Amino acid sequence: MVEWQLPKLHMAVRFRSPAFKFMSYCRRSCGAVALLLIWAVGGLSGCAGVSTYTGPRAPVSGQQAPGIRHKVEPKQTLWRISRIYNVEIEDILKANNIPEEATIEIGQVLVIPVSRQKAFKESPAAYGDEFIWPLKGRVISGYGGSYRNLINRGIDIQVPEESGIVASGSGKVVFYSSSLGNFGKTIIIEHANGLKSVYSRVSEFFVRPGDTVQRGSAIGRVSPVHKGKSNYFHFEIRKGRIPQNPLFYLP
């Protein structure tokens, strides 16, 4: 099954596909600090016909692994919990047998794989690097969802009317393309802690590479072009070059 996601960022890429000319054009015209590698870009438009999205997979009860027990509170994300205890999200997922396509629920008890002596709780001021929803709307395709042998490595939010897009977190714009295949207008914002957020299928962006943005600031707008699910906004969060489930970061 082919993974469906936006291009990965590399400092150097050896192109061996027919996309070489397109990549060279992007490198010259976009002025991005990183080169592009397209992975299954042609399948993006097909998600408009995906079957009804019923939400992320239910969480799985954690194993009786050693560590601290944490009860999920309202508006807590896995990202915040990982920051509270200074552990990686991947370690929490593994300790609790949670699939990367799942989510967590209020009241769920998680095993945090760290000893009480080594636990490090951050102050509320450290929550300033949290993420917010770039667009409020109905998620019609979730992380890990598949359609015609393509896997979505982000989330798609339906756009029923013209809406503004805001920066999910504070950071610096490091990439812009006015037409990235079926992804359309796309930007990537680099944040602290090695994270990046990706915004695609946007009608107009107000920012360009090199611009610094604050969480919640307006960066673009989306406008519906056709009726139905074909109008959607694509959003990703990456850790380095690895796509993450955005719902682990969004409250």
Statement: residue 14 has pLDDT above 80: no
Q: Where are the domains of the chain?
A: 2-53+131-248, 68-129
Express each pLDDT in 160-208 by its tens digit: 888 999 999 999 999 999 988 878 899 999 998 899 999 999 999 999 9
3-state secondary structure of 60: coil
Q: How far is the C-alpha of 49 from the C-alpha of 95, rounded, in Å?
A: 36
Q: Are 26 and 36 in contact (CB under 8 A)?
A: yes
The pLDDT, as a whole number, for residue 129 is 78
* pTM (two decimals): 0.72
Poorest-pLDDT segment among 108-117, 128-137, 179-188, 206-215: 108-117
Poorest-pLDDT segment among 45-49, 76-80, 106-110: 45-49
Statement: residue 96 has pLDDT above 70: yes
In CATH terms, 68-129 corresponds, of 1.20.1050.10, 3.40.50.300, 1.20.1440.130, 3.10.350.10, to 3.10.350.10
For the ranges 92-101, 102-111, 145-154, 200-209, the one whose mean pLDDT is highest: 200-209
The pLDDT, as a whole number, for residue 75 is 87
Spell out the CATH class of 2-53+131-248.
mainly beta
Give pairs for 184-189: CB < 8 Å, separation 24+.
185/220, 186/6, 187/219, 187/220, 188/6, 188/9, 189/213, 189/219
